[in-house]
């Protein structure tokens, strides 16, 4: 019997050492030390032995058990260690490989131009305000001194909305940012010093310089004793800062029902001295419309024109962006072609 036991030990040690996975090791453990294992099987024969023999036999089998358990424990550690090494080898991470490039977003060029304008206006004491893009006929036209049958409505090809309100007449997509003049006067009363940047809409055939949707900006300054010379000074300062060079302002007669007198304003070309492609050799660049706010407009918004005067001026933000980027096709700003947009 002793021989048998020793043989079990020899076999078990060999099997343990040859195990190279945890599953295999578990099987070996079961085979020799489990409930139905060979050690247990031998012990069942113990009842036929003398007490002395039983003692010796029991002791020996316990010793074998201890030795085998220890071996199993060691083998288990060894296998685990090997598995970790294996994993490290297979999951090798090369930290020197170049990273996967991610695309970095940036502010749209029209927004950049808007931000720049806003910063300049704010530095001169203006507040930035906005109004709704769906506007009433009353604020977009009537209160701006453009009544129903006025021929000036032809200047603004309008998208009307199939809806009427009792108080404000038809609804439409605003054709300019000027209705915010009325909104702000009604809301705040005089004095007022605001910049209104915003999206506007006109029913126009799209070409390189026209789009049905575009951006405008508009400055409005109402206070006591405001005159055209203030307007000229502000335009000079604002666009001088915007283009980063000293510029000269030139007025030409213009016509807007909501200003009197009405003017078109031009600035000396910030890109040349003697004529270039941008100013088409004229040395001046047309920027927008302006004038002194018409007394009828002030009255419509509840401001006494005898007490307060003001100027308003406005133009296309897209046009400014075209000048800054030296791009002469307005449509590119909204085609979402990253090859174009990424340049700015
Ligand atoms: N609202 C005018 C337009 O869209 C521009 C303008 C603004 C003119 C303010 C005068 C004063 O054409």
Domain boundaries, the chain: 2-90, 109-341
The 3-state DSSP class for residue 81 equals: helix
Confirm or reject: Cβ of 264 under 6 Å from ligand 1. Answer: no
pLDDT computed for residue 218 by the predictor: 98
Confirm or reject: Cβ of 267 under 6 Å from ligand 1. Answer: no
CA pair distance 28, 34, nearest whole angstrom: 9
pLDDT computed for residue 44 by the predictor: 79
- Return the best residue to mutate from 226, 256, 296 for the ligand 1 pocket (most ligand atoms within 8 A of CB): 256
DSSP 304-325: -TTT-EEEEEEEEHHHHHHHHH
pLDDT computed for residue 79 by the predictor: 92
Residues of the chain with pLDDT under 50: none
- Contact (Cβ atoms closer than 8 angstroms) between residue 72 and residue 25: yes
Whole-number Å distance, alpha carbon 290 to ligand 1 midpoint, is: 6
The 3-state DSSP class for residue 14 equals: helix
| Consecutive H or E run containing 203 | none
Q: What is residue 43's DSSP assignment?
A: H
Helix runs in 91-170, H state only: 109-123, 137-140
Confirm or reject: Cβ of 178 under 6 Å from ligand 1. Answer: yes
Spatial CB neighbours of 104, under 8 Å, sequence gap ≥ 6: none
- Return the best residue to mutate from 146, 176, 257, 293 for the ligand 1 pocket (most ligand atoms within 8 A of CB): 176
CA pair distance 93, 96, nearest whole angstrom: 9
- Contact (Cβ atoms closer than 8 angstroms) between residue 169 and residue 141: no
Spatial CB neighbours of 283, under 8 Å, sequence gap ≥ 6: 268, 269, 272, 273, 274, 275
- Contact (Cβ atoms closer than 8 angstroms) between residue 217 and residue 192: no
Q: Could you tell me which residues are beta bridge partners of residue 95?
A: none
- Contact (Cβ atoms closer than 8 angstroms) between residue 129 and residue 180: yes
Whole-number Å distance, alpha carbon 256 to ligand 1 midpoint, is: 7
Helix runs in the chain, H state only: 2-18, 22-33, 38-43, 51-90, 109-123, 137-140, 179-188, 228-243, 295-300, 317-325, 338-341
C-alpha distance from residue 23 to each of 27, 76, 79 (Å): 6, 10, 10
Confirm or reject: Cβ of 37 under 6 Å from ligand 1. Answer: no
CA pair distance 13, 343, nearest whole angstrom: 73
Whole-number Å distance, alpha carbon 257 to ligand 1 midpoint, is: 9
pLDDT computed for residue 94 by the predictor: 83
pLDDT computed for residue 154 by the predictor: 85
Longest dimension (CA), the chain: 132
- State CA 227 to chain mean position distance: 41
Burial class (CB in 10 A: 0-12, 13-18, 19+), 149: exposed
CA pair distance 319, 289, nearest whole angstrom: 13
Q: Could you tell me which residues are beta bridge partners of residue 195?
A: 128, 219
CA pair distance 146, 136, nearest whole angstrom: 13
CA pair distance 179, 175, nearest whole angstrom: 9
Considering the domain 109-341, what is its CATH architecture? 2-Layer Sandwich (3.30)
- Return the best residue to mutate from 179, 214, 220, 258 for the ligand 1 pocket (most ligand atoms within 8 A of CB): 258
Total length of the chain: 344
| Consecutive H or E run containing 249 | strand 249-253
Spatial CB neighbours of 244, under 8 Å, sequence gap ≥ 6: 270
The backbone torsions φ and ψ at residue 204, rounded to the nearest 5 degrees and listed phi first, read -130, 150
């Amino acid at each position: 019997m002793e021989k048998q036991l020793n043989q079990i030990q020899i076999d078990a040690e060999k099997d343990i050492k040859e195990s190279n996975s945890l599953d295999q090791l578990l099987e070996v453990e079961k085979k020799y030390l489990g409930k139905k294992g060979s050690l247990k099987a031998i012990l069942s024969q113990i009842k036929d032995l003398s007490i002395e023999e039983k003692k010796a036999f029991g002791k020996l089998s316990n010793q074998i058990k201890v030795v085998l358990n220890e071996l199993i424990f060691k083998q288990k550690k060894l296998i685990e260690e090997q598995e970790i090494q294996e994993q490290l080898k297979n999951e090798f991470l090369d930290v020197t490989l170049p990273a996967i490039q991610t695309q970095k977003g940036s502010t749209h060029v029209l927004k950049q131009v808007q931000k720049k304008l806003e910063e300049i206006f704010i530095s001169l004491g203006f507040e930035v305000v906005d109004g709704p893009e769906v506007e009433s006929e009353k604020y977009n036209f009537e209160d701006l001194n453009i009544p129903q049958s006025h021929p000036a409505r032809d200047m603004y090809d309008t998208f009307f909305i199939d809806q009427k309100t009792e108080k404000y007449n038809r609804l439409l997509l605003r054709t300019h940012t000027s209705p915010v003049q009325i909104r702000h006067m009604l809301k705040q009363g005089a004095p007022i010093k605001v910049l209104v940047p915003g999206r506007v809409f006109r029913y126009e055939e799209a070409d390189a310089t026209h789009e049905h949707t575009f951006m405008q900006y508009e400055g409005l300054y109402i206070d006591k004793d405001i005159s055209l010379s203030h307007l000229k000074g502000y335009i000079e300062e604002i666009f001088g800062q915007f283009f980063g060079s000293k510029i000269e302002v030139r007025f030409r007669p213009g016509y807007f029902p909501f200003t009197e007198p009405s003017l078109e304003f031009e600035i000396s070309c910030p890109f040349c001295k003697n004529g270039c492609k941008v100013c088409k050799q004229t040395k001046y660049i047309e920027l927008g419309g302006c004038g002194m706010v018409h007394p009828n407009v002030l009255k419509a918004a509840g401001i006494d024109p005898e007490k307060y005067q003001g100027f308003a001026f406005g133009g296309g933000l897209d046009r400014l962006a075209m000048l800054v980027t030296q791009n002469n096709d307005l449509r590119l700003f909204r085609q979402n072609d990253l090859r174009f947009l990424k340049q700015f």
